[in-house]
């Protein structure tokens, strides 16, 4: 099969592809070129790193250096020569490939703000994207008390939550009227803002920033409504942009990302692209699950394990889970109000929506069901069925007949079999009291009728309570009831 | 509970009592058997495992002693194809001729042995010796491969030793947090639940991981209900949380373990939301479980068949062992990792040589030093010992094939019901030239045998069993076997003699030497004409020598010592030295003395659901039945409590299928189908079906299960496969 495989980029996607290739047999030689100087690390844990709960070693991922793969960190690719099938690196080397995989990821967007030189950010203004960014943020907050986060999307809120966990006073500035507008509706955004407030994160919504001023004492952010916010540090979380410069320079088709087909191939059959830098079916990445699914497909194709494998985008699930915040958002949710299509018998899709909101306790749930399948959901706060909801959405399985289970938990009704009842008198005769020895209430009553008059008598005769022992209170209760009721009633 | 026609014990010895243990599961509850006027009564004893409790199986165990279906004479399959009574001489002649013919035509390995985890230590040991010395075949394995082999392999690679619980059971009752993974003791070993009750009454937290809301899950403070086959991801996510929350015991990891960095990096890739999506277990529950384990003063993690019976069972157990090690549990008083062994002698049965790769004392058969030691005990040259054979399912799947065994002897097992892909295994068994089954009832496997040998039951034999704690116990005979019935040891000794196999010198020496220090004088229960190595005391004495110096060292265990102290925990190398209730206090049994982390990644089940087979099937047990049901299906009270197989399904799925409670369902996989009535319950995931495996015939769920094997333990994937389900319309 393909002999020399060169992966450009050693982030979540590139490292995963190297692992997937390593796990498969074949005599392919894998070279990974990572611009960052670090071993592979888990970007998802960076907010935990910001929170100070782990150190850098804890965010390292399984690394193939020394296990057959040639992993070169601190080595960026400067050019691709597609005709010669080589890449040139910052170390001046030329490395030949039989197949090249671009996994260059994305870069943080630095917004055009008055007073900010995009190419020379001051120490007090740091984007939140890489491990080095985290180091800069952590260096800057050592003596800080107040932090501004520009951007109320997923990344901005993760940064805000991490920094708030250090005891910092955190303000999030977001130009849209509610938080995480790509995933949440306004009501959910409002509940989330309330949750953040309880965690020490204040939000300033519907207002854009216009300028930045940095002084030795701090950083000042000018807002469009005339307000001015002062802080020790400004964290930029204004989105990311696919890193396509290398691909564009090599003449590959680039739109928002490097355009790939369902085999993750660019328009050069010897070049693939995966992860945040790739654009498949008009969609650019940003989440780990699709990037890893792509890595798997490429590995299967390149090693010949399954040459007919094709990339099918996994359903998109956004999950924000940090101490005090539990948010899951997935699928399509039309704006509230237009959600209820008629439950038609005219062949149109039958749509339902379940909603629940308890803003005081920070709980919000909205689940959309189309033709008995879960097609969208926002779950915020304490939603015990969140795992079930995600699996139903992922797998397209039919939703529970009793829809309450989606909001309230796994099982609504008590499981079948014997459940405690208030009085033995109300217990059906056939109820099993002692499972270990298959003793029913009727057996205990029969034993009483036959002359047993104490718990010990009943236990000896029926063996109730002699197994796991957990029914001994129930047996005693029934004996007590039997000794208290009219014998006629018992023998009725 | 006899038919009253015949005294239960020899005249002159009545009334009689025997303090023994239940014949069924690995809990080995203490019980007192007493015989009065021909009736045998069972009473629970206050023993450390059962504290005076017994489940219905134990209470009714004696009903099989004089059961009308009990085999009382050897059976030979005649030219008419039917089994008919025969004498022992005829049966032995048929077996010995068959063995000789098979080996002459196809070589030594063409005769195979299949053992069982319910056999006493003496029998398991004698079976291994019989295979290696009398038959000189490498083809021996046993049904324990279908039981706890995955936990055994994971325990070996982490701790250097495999003892189900490395601490006494009583520790469970005092643990602050107890995590049970794929374990349902409230159903499978009910008296153990007394410890769970105690634990909760002391304020401890019980967490259960199971795809079903089992009787045990209902006792739990927190129940994680993952998709079958995703336990490994759950374990890695729990470790991830422990890392991010700072609950990893860094000091312990540095001082007592090795290999953590590789495991830490894998755990870094298992943030809880990833495991949630795969398993369906909410992140909040994963965090809560990790917190309960990570912040507890004492915590115990136990796995059982639910986690282990997978094609990735060893790695799944390793993931939970990794978690236990990262939290600093193993070797810390009151804490640790353990496996709940299933079969009565599941522990001892895997230590003394009925495993394909093993010699007594948990020695490896490919270790030259081990071969030399054991060969010396057996009076043979080490080069004469065969090498490792193949695992249970591989052995069964070779039977009757051109390169496979042509003759098989089965002791204490019923693979026609209990093996995966059972219809195929049944065909293989039928393809044999000679199938010999030793049993006391006509099991489904015995029913297709060429020779059936009637054997003694538990109340008619002496010996030792090693329970789930590694506690060596005494099985004590109440009475002699009925006339015409022989013990397994006697059968092996007779066949050895008939094959002119060398008798172990140890047996001769100890039998002939009344001063042999560990051997009590022969008792009245051994018939005077029986060969010396049919005497369990003689065999045990030899076992002790063979195990001496091995991982499972029984050299210091004597029957008297067991009698004096509620059992003896191995390893126990010296008769005047201590036994070992708790392992790992100072060091682990690895060369470095440190426990080894093992980096393990989740991988999908061998068979995932698809359009054609859209549901998961998982299998398990019910309270009133045991294993393949040969015994318990013949006990009236148990049959009434659990009369027939069933398929458990969620009400939503039942509604979509249009099935009512009790209507017949057909469950089909790529390997076969089963039919059984529907049992509709909300305690199961809507995407999963459950069926118990205690029945043969049309209701045999193992016709459906997957024979994909774990690459290390060779455990079949009983716990998950893809099926479709439909209503059977009459």
H-helix or E-strand spanning residue B547: helix B536-547
Question: Do the Cβ atoms of B682 and A416 come within 8 Å?
Answer: yes
pLDDT above 90: residue A358: yes
Question: Do the Cβ atoms of B213 and A468 come within 8 Å?
Answer: no
Chain A residues whose beta carbon lies within 8 Å of the beta carbon of residue B625: none
Q: What is the DSSP string of A409-448?
A: -S-SSPPSS----S-GGGS-TT-EEETTTTEEHHHHHHHH
Question: Do the Cβ atoms of B53 and A58 come within 8 Å?
Answer: no
Mean pLDDT of chain B: 93
Domain that holds residue B51: 16-64
Residues B496 and B384 in one domain: yes
Question: Do the Cβ atoms of B265 and A435 come within 8 Å?
Answer: no
Question: Do the Cβ atoms of B265 and A467 come within 8 Å?
Answer: no
Q: What is the pLDDT of residue B2?
A: 33
- Angle at A298 (CA atoms; ends A296, A299), nearest 5 degrees: 65
What pLDDT digit, counting tens, does each position of B214-228 carry? 999 999 999 999 999
Whether residue A101 contacts residue A17, with contact meaning beta carbons closer than 8 Å, is answered with yes
For residue B390, give both structure tokens: 């193949």
What pLDDT digit, counting tens, does each position of B427-471 carry? 999 999 999 999 999 999 999 999 999 999 999 999 999 999 999
Please state the domain count of chain B.
4
Chain A residues whose beta carbon lies within 8 Å of the beta carbon of residue B213: 410-411, 415
Residues B136 and B155 in one domain: no
pLDDT above 50: residue B10: no
For residue B30, give both structure tokens: 């203490």
pLDDT above 50: residue B518: no
Q: What is the pLDDT of residue A332?
A: 87
Q: What is the pLDDT of residue B258?
A: 98
> Chain centroid to CA B523: how far?
30
- Asked, for residue B1, whether it belongs to a domain, the answer is no
Q: What is the pLDDT of residue B551?
A: 94
Question: Do the Cβ atoms of A467 and B284 come within 8 Å?
Answer: no
Q: What is the pLDDT of residue B523?
A: 46
Q: Residue for token digits 């966990």?
A: A165
Mean pLDDT of B673-692: 96
Domains of chain A by residue range? 4-106+241-302, 125-238, 317-408, 424-491
Whether residue B329 contacts residue B337, with contact meaning beta carbons closer than 8 Å, is answered with yes
For residue B319, give both structure tokens: 């993931």
Residues B623 and B706 in one domain: yes
Q: What is the pLDDT of residue B154?
A: 98
In this complex, the residue of B59, B285, B599 whose CB is nearest that of residue A463 is: B59
Residues B257 and B181 in one domain: yes
What pLDDT digit, counting tens, does each position of B475-507 carry? 999 999 999 999 999 999 999 999 988 766 655
- Tell me the nearest-neighbour CA distance from A228 into chain B, angstroms: 36
Phi and psi at residue B32, to the nearest 5°: -110, 120
Mean pLDDT of B167-193: 96
pLDDT above 70: residue A341: no
What pLDDT digit, counting tens, does each position of A276-300 carry? 999 999 999 889 999 999 999 999 9
Q: Which residues contact B611 (CB under 8 A, 6 or more apart)?
A: none
Q: Please report, rounded to a whole number, the percentage of residues in chain B having pLDDT higher than 90.
A: 92
pLDDT above 50: residue B584: yes
Q: What is the pLDDT of residue A67?
A: 73
pLDDT above 80: residue A488: no
**Residue of B265, B611, B690 to mutate for A, most A C-beta atoms under 10 A:** B265
- Asked, for residue B7, whether it belongs to a domain, the answer is no
In this complex, the residue of A58, A466, A469 whose CB is nearest that of residue B243 is: A58
Chain A residues whose beta carbon lies within 8 Å of the beta carbon of residue B683: 411, 415-416
Question: Do the Cβ atoms of A326 and B284 come within 8 Å?
Answer: yes
Question: Do the Cβ atoms of B269 and A391 come within 8 Å?
Answer: no
Q: What is the pLDDT of residue B647?
A: 98
Common-topology check for domains A125-238 and A424-491: no
- Tell me the nearest-neighbour CA distance from A45 into chain B, angstroms: 8
Query: Residue B291 to residues B171, B215, B220, B245, B288: CA-CA distances in angstroms?
Result: 20, 24, 16, 8, 5
A414: confidence class by pLDDT, cuts 50, 70, 90: very low
Residues B306 and B427 in one domain: no
**Residue of B59, B184, B226, B268 to mutate for A, most A C-beta atoms under 10 A:** B268
Query: Given the DSSP bridges, would you call strands B615-620 and B721-727 parallel, antiparallel or unpaired?
Result: antiparallel
B638: confidence class by pLDDT, cuts 50, 70, 90: very high
- Asked, for residue B226, whether it belongs to a domain, the answer is yes
Whether residue A207 contacts residue A227, with contact meaning beta carbons closer than 8 Å, is answered with yes
Question: Do the Cβ atoms of B197 and A470 come within 8 Å?
Answer: yes
Of A186-200, A232-246, A446-460, B150-164, the poorest mean pLDDT is in A446-460
A492: confidence class by pLDDT, cuts 50, 70, 90: very low
Q: What is the CATH T-level fold of the domain A317-408, as seen in this structure?
A: Enolase-like; domain 1 (3.30.390)
Whether residue A274 contacts residue A241, with contact meaning beta carbons closer than 8 Å, is answered with no
- Tell me the nearest-neighbour CA distance from B274 into chain A, angstroms: 8
Q: What is the pLDDT of residue A337?
A: 63
Check which CATH number belongs to the domain holding B321 and give it: 3.40.228.10
For residue B292, give both structure tokens: 């309960």
Q: What is the pLDDT of residue B6?
A: 35
ipTM confidence score: 0.93
- Tell me the nearest-neighbour CA distance from A346 into chain B, angstroms: 22
Give bridge partners of residue B515 from the DSSP assignment: none
What pLDDT digit, counting tens, does each position of B647-671 carry? 999 999 999 999 999 999 999 999 9
Nearest chain A residue to B683 by CA distance is A415
Question: Do the Cβ atoms of B225 and A410 come within 8 Å?
Answer: yes
Q: What is the pLDDT of residue B7?
A: 36
Q: What is the pLDDT of residue A200?
A: 94
- Asked, for residue B514, whether it belongs to a domain, the answer is no
- Asked, for residue B668, whether it belongs to a domain, the answer is yes
Question: Do the Cβ atoms of B281 and A58 come within 8 Å?
Answer: no
Check which CATH number belongs to the domain holding B625 and give it: 2.40.40.20
Query: Residue A47 to residues A55, A158, A304: CA-CA distances in angstroms?
Result: 11, 6, 38
SS (H, E, C) B306-365: HHHCCCCHHHHHHHHHHHHHHCCCCCCCCCEEEECCCCCCCCHHHCCCCCCCEECCCEEC
Burial class (CB in 10 A: 0-12, 13-18, 19+), B347: buried
pLDDT above 70: residue A232: yes
Question: Do the Cβ atoms of B682 and A317 come within 8 Å?
Answer: no
Q: What is the pLDDT of residue B526?
A: 55
CB contacts < 8 A (A, B) = 148
Residues B201 and B286 in one domain: yes
Q: Residue B482 CB: number of other CB atoms within 10 A?
A: 17
Q: What is the pLDDT of residue A118?
A: 87
pLDDT above 80: residue B14: no
- Asked, for residue B10, whether it belongs to a domain, the answer is no
Residues B438 and B387 in one domain: yes
Q: Tell me the C-alpha distance between B68 and B58, whole Å.
A: 19
pLDDT above 60: residue A456: yes
Question: Do the Cβ atoms of B53 and A466 come within 8 Å?
Answer: yes
Q: What is the pLDDT of residue B543?
A: 96
Q: What is the CATH T-level fold of the domain A125-238, as seen in this structure?
A: FAD/NAD(P)-binding domain (3.50.50)
Q: Tell me the C-alpha distance between A295 and A293, whole Å.
A: 5
Residues B102 and B174 in one domain: no
Residues B463 and B331 in one domain: no
CATH superfamily, domain at A4-106+241-302:
FAD/NAD(P)-binding domain (3.50.50.60)
pLDDT above 60: residue A338: no
Residues B193 and B319 in one domain: yes
pLDDT above 60: residue A453: yes
Residues B56 and B105 in one domain: no
Whether residue B416 contacts residue B696, with contact meaning beta carbons closer than 8 Å, is answered with yes
Residues B26 and B118 in one domain: no
Chain A residues whose beta carbon lies within 8 Å of the beta carbon of residue B59: 437, 463, 466
**Residue of A393, A434, A466, A475 to mutate for B, most B C-beta atoms under 10 A:** A466
Check which CATH number belongs to the domain holding B493 and give it: 3.40.50.740
> Chain centroid to CA A403: how far?
24
Question: Do the Cβ atoms of B656 and A466 come within 8 Å?
Answer: no
**Residue of A53, A437, A464 to mutate for B, most B C-beta atoms under 10 A:** A437
pLDDT above 70: residue A16: yes
pLDDT above 60: residue A306: yes
Q: Prior bond to A156 cis, omega within 30?
A: no
- Tell me the nearest-neighbour CA distance from A250 into chain B, angstroms: 33
Q: What is the DSSP string of B105-169?
A: HH-GGGEEEEE-TTS-HHHHHHHHHIIIIII--S-EEEGGGGTTHHHHHHHHHHHSS--S-SS-T
Q: Please report, rounded to a whole number, the percentage of residues in chain B having pLDDT higher than 70.
A: 94
A420: confidence class by pLDDT, cuts 50, 70, 90: low
A62: confidence class by pLDDT, cuts 50, 70, 90: confident
Of A437-451, B265-279, B333-347, the poorest mean pLDDT is in A437-451
Chain A residues whose beta carbon lies within 8 Å of the beta carbon of residue B56: 436-438, 463, 467
Q: What is the pLDDT of residue B373?
A: 97
Check which CATH number belongs to the domain holding B45 and give it: 2.20.25.90
Q: What is the DSSP string of A3-44?
A: -EEEEE--SHHHHHHHHHHHTS-S--EEEEEESSSSPPB-GG
Phi and psi at residue B641, to the nearest 5°: -75, -35
- Tell me the nearest-neighbour CA distance from A174 into chain B, angstroms: 26
Which DSSP category does A60 fall into? B
Sign, CA dihedral B175-B179-B181-B185, equals positive
Chain A residues whose beta carbon lies within 8 Å of the beta carbon of residue B276: 319, 386-387, 390
Question: Do the Cβ atoms of B265 and A63 come within 8 Å?
Answer: yes
Question: Do the Cβ atoms of B682 and A413 come within 8 Å?
Answer: yes
**Of A294, A288, A275, which Cα lies nearest the Cα of A45?**
A288
pLDDT above 80: residue B511: no
B527: confidence class by pLDDT, cuts 50, 70, 90: low
Sign, CA dihedral B277-B280-B284-B286, equals negative
Strand runs labelled E in B373-532: 407-411, 434-439, 451-454, 463-466, 471-475
Chain A residues whose beta carbon lies within 8 Å of the beta carbon of residue B686: 397-398, 400
What pLDDT digit, counting tens, does each position of B247-295 carry? 999 999 999 999 999 999 999 999 999 999 999 999 999 999 999 999 9
Question: Do the Cβ atoms of B191 and A415 come within 8 Å?
Answer: no
Q: Which CATH class is domain A424-491?
A: mainly alpha
- Asked, for residue B593, whether it belongs to a domain, the answer is no
């Amino acid at each position: 099969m393909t002999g020399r495989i060169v992966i450009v980029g050693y982030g979540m996607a590139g490292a995963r592809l190297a692992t997937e290739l390593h796990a498969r047999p074949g005599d392919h030689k894998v070279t990974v070129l990572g611009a960052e100087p670090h071993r592979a690390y888990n970007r998802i844990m960076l907010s935990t790193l910001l929170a100070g709960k782990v150190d850098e070693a804890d965010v390292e991922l399984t690394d193939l250096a020394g296990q057959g793969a040639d992993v070169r960190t601190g080595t960026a690719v400067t050019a691709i020569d597609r005709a010669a099938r080589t890449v040139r690196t910052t170390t001046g080397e030329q490395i030949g490939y039989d197949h090249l995989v671009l996994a260059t990821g994305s870069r943080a967007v630095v917004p055009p703000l008055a007073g900010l030189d995009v190419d020379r950010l001051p120490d007090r203004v740091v984007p939140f994207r890489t491990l080095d960014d985290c180091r800069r943020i952590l260096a800057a907050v050592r003596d800080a008390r107040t932090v501004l986060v520009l951007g109320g999307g997923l990344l901005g809120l993760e940064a805000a939550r991490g920094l708030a966990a250090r005891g910092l006073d955190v303000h999030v500035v977001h130009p849209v009227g509610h938080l995480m507008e790509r995933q949440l509706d306004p009501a959910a955004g409002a509940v989330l803002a309330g949750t953040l407030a309880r965690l020490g994160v204040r939000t300033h919504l519907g207002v854009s920033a216009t300028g930045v001023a940095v002084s030795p004492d701090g950083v000042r952010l000018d807002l469009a409504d005339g307000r001015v916010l002062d802080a020790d540090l400004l964290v930029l979380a204004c989105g990311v942009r696919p890193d396509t410069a290398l691909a564009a320079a090599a003449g590959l088709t680039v739109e928002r990302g490097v355009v790939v087909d369902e085999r993750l191939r660019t328009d050069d059959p010897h070049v693939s692209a995966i992860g945040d830098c790739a654009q498949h079916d008009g969609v650019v990445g940003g989440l780990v699950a699709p990037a890893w699914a792509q890595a798997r497909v490429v590995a299967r194709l390149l090693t010949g394990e399954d040459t007919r494998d094709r990339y099918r985008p996994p359903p998109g699930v956004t999950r924000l889970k940090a101490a005090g915040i539990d948010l899951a958002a997935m699928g399509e949710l039309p704006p509230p109000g237009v959600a209820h299509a008629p439950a038609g018998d005219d062949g149109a899709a039958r749509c339902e929506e379940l909603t629940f909101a308890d803003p005081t306790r920070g709980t919000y749930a909205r689940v959309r069901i189309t033709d008995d399948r879960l097609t969208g959901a926002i779950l915020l706060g304490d939603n015990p069925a969140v795992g079930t909801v995600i699996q139903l959405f992922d797998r397209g399985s039919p939703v529970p007949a009793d829809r309450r289970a989606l909001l309230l938990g796994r099982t609504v009704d008590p499981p079948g079999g014997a459940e405690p009842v208030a009085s033995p008198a109300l217990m059906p005769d056939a109820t099993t009291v002692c499972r270990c020895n298959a003793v029913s209430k009727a057996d205990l009553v029969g034993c009483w009728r036959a002359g047993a008059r104490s718990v010990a008598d009943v236990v000896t005769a029926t063996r109730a309570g002699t197994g796991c022992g957990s029914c001994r209170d129930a047996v005693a209760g029934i004996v007590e009831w039997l000794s208290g009721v009219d014998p006629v009633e018992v023998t009725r | 509970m006899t038919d009253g026609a015949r005294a239960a014990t020899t005249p002159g010895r009545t009334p009689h009592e025997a303090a023994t243990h239940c014949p069924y599961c690995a809990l080995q509850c203490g019980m007192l058997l007493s015989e009065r006027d021909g009736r045998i009564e069972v009473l629970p004893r206050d023993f450390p495992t059962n504290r005076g409790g017994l489940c219905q199986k134990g209470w009714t165990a004696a009903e099989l002693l004089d059961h009308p279906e009990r085999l009382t004479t050897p059976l030979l399959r005649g030219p008419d194809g039917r089994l008919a009574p025969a004498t022992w001489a005829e049966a032995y002649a048929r077996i010995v001729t068959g063995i000789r013919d098979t080996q002459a035509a196809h070589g030594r390995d063409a005769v195979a042995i299949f053992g069982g985890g319910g056999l006493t230590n003496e029998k398991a040991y004698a079976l291994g010796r019989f295979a290696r010395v009398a038959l000189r075949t490498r083809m021996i394995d046993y049904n324990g491969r279908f039981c706890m082999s995955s936990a055994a392999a994971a325990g070996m690679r982490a701790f250097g030793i495999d003892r189900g619980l490395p601490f006494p059971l009583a520790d469970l009752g005092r643990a602050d947090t107890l995590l049970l993974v794929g374990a349902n003791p409230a159903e499978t070993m009910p008296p153990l639940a007394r410890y769970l009750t105690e634990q909760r009454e002391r304020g401890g937290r019980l967490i259960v991981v199971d795809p079903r809301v089992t009787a045990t899950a209902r006792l739990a403070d927190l129940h994680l209900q993952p998709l079958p086959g995703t336990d490994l991801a759950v374990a890695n996510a729990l470790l991830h949380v422990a890392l991010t929350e700072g609950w990893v015991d860094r000091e312990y990891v540095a001082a007592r373990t090795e290999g953590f960095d590789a495991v830490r990096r894998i755990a870094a890739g298992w943030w809880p939301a990833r495991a949630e999506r795969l398993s369906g277990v909410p992140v909040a529950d994963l965090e809560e479980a990790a917190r309960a384990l990570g912040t507890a003063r004492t915590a115990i993690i136990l796995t059982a068949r639910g986690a282990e019976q997978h094609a990735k069972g060893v790695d799944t157990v390793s993931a939970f062992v990794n978690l236990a090690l990262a939290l600093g549990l193993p070797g810390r008083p009151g804490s640790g990792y353990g496996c709940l062994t299933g079969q009565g002698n599941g522990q001892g049965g895997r230590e003394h040589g009925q495993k394909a790769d093993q010699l007594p004392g948990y020695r490896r058969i490919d270790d030259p030093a081990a071969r030399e030691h054991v060969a010396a005990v057996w009076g043979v040259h080490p080069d004469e010992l065969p090498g490792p054979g193949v695992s249970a399912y591989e052995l069964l799947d070779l039977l009757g094939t051109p390169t496979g065994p042509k003759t098989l002897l089965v002791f204490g097992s019923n693979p026609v019901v209990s093996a995966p892909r059972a219809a195929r295994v049944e065909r293989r068994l039928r393809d044999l030239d000679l199938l010999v089954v030793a049993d006391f009832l006509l099991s489904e496997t015995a029913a297709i045998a060429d020779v059936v040998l009637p054997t003694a039951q538990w109340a008619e034999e002496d010996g030792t069993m090693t329970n789930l704690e590694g506690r060596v116990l005494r099985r004590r005979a109440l009475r002699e076997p009925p006339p015409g019935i022989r013990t397994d040891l006697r059968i092996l000794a007779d066949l050895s003699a008939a094959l002119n196999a060398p008798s172990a010198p140890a047996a001769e020496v100890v039998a002939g030497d009344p001063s042999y220090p560990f051997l009590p004088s022969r008792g009245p229960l051994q018939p005077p004409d029986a060969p010396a190595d049919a005497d369990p005391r003689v065999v045990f004495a030899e076992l002790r020598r063979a195990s001496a110096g091995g991982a499972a060292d029984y050299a210091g265990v004597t029957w008297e010592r067991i009698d004096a102290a509620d059992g003896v925990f191995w390893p126990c190398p010296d008769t005047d030295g201590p036994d070992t209730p708790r392992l790992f206090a100072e060091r682990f049994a690895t060369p470095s003395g440190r426990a080894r982390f093992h980096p393990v990644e989740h991988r999908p089940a061998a068979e995932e659901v698809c359009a054609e087979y859209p549901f998961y099937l998982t299998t398990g047990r019910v309270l009133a039945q045991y294993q393949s049901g040969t015994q318990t299906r013949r006990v009236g009270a148990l049959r009434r409590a659990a009369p027939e197989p069933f398929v458990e399904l969620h009400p939503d799925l039942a509604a979509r299928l249009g099935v009512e409670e009790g209507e017949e369902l057909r469950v089909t996989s790529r390997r076969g189908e089963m039919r059984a009535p529907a049992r509709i319950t909300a305690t199961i995931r809507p995407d999963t079906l459950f069926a118990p495996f205690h029945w043969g015939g049309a209701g045999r769920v193992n016709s459906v299960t997957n024979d994909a094997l774990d690459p290390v333990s060779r455990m079949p994937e009983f716990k998950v496969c893809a099926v479709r389900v439909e209503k059977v319309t009459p």
